[in-house]
Copies of this chain bind each other. A is one copy, B any other.
Amino acid sequence: MHAPAACKPFAARPQCAVRPRVDSTVQRHPTPLMKYLHTMVRVTDLDASLKFYRDALGLQEVRRSEHEAGRFTLVYLAAPGDEDAQIELTYNWDPEIYTGGRNFGHVAYAVPDIYAACQRLMDAGVTINRPPRDGRMAFVRSPDNISIELLQDGPALPPAEPWISMPNTGAW
């Protein structure tokens, strides 16, 4: 995309040190012209959602706004140190029921210790739908059935119990 002269593009951002999942042949632009902000999900219970996304998954609340006129609250969460890539929780004050759809798949995060991440989720009462039997990948679901993928950063951890013996539960 060409940025017209009248338009102020994003300030140049320093290259990040860790880009393990990107093809090194891709051309890098010194000045991003477009930028990922967030993935928005709707939540029926804000407290239960914060227990999941913040307390169990480990994200941090970075911003919140209450909208009296529209009767909704927005809560933005991000991994600590990775505040640019956010998940936006939309909580409508008037109750709604949210079903899932197959066009949306999941939101994925890399974690430094997938066993520790899954243990903390389990301790919070979250079902590990796809346990990290391979030391590499796990899936859980939010209270509103949003699928979250956890991927071990770097090489897989050595297989370990209780994960090796833990069966899959449901779909993800």
Contacts and interface: CB of A to CB of B under 8 A. Distances in A.
Specify which of A78, A90, A104, A145 lies most central, judged by the most chain B CB atoms within 10 Å of its CB: A104
Contacts of A88: 105, 108
A93 interface: no
Nearest to A89: B105
A26 B60 contact: yes
A99 interface: yes
Interface in A24-74: 26-42, 58-63
A80 to B, nearest CB: 4
Interface size class of A (residues with CB under 8 A): 35 or more
Contacts of A26: 60-62, 83
A112 B14 contact: no
Contacts of A116: 1-4, 7
B153 A109 contact: no
B9 A112 contact: yes
Contact of A37 (B21, B58, B63, B84): B21
Contacts of A2: 116
Contact of A39 (B11, B23, B106): B106
A18 B13 contact: yes
Instruction: Please provide the 9 A-B residue pairs with the shortest distance between their CB atoms, ordered closest to farther.
Output: A101-B101, A32-B81, A40-B105, A36-B85, A104-B104, A100-B101, A34-B79, A98-B103, A7-B113
Given A1-B120, A29-B81, 11 more contacts: A11-B17, A13-B17, A26-B62, A30-B81, A32-B82, A34-B109, A35-B85, A38-B108, A39-B107, A88-B108, A100-B104
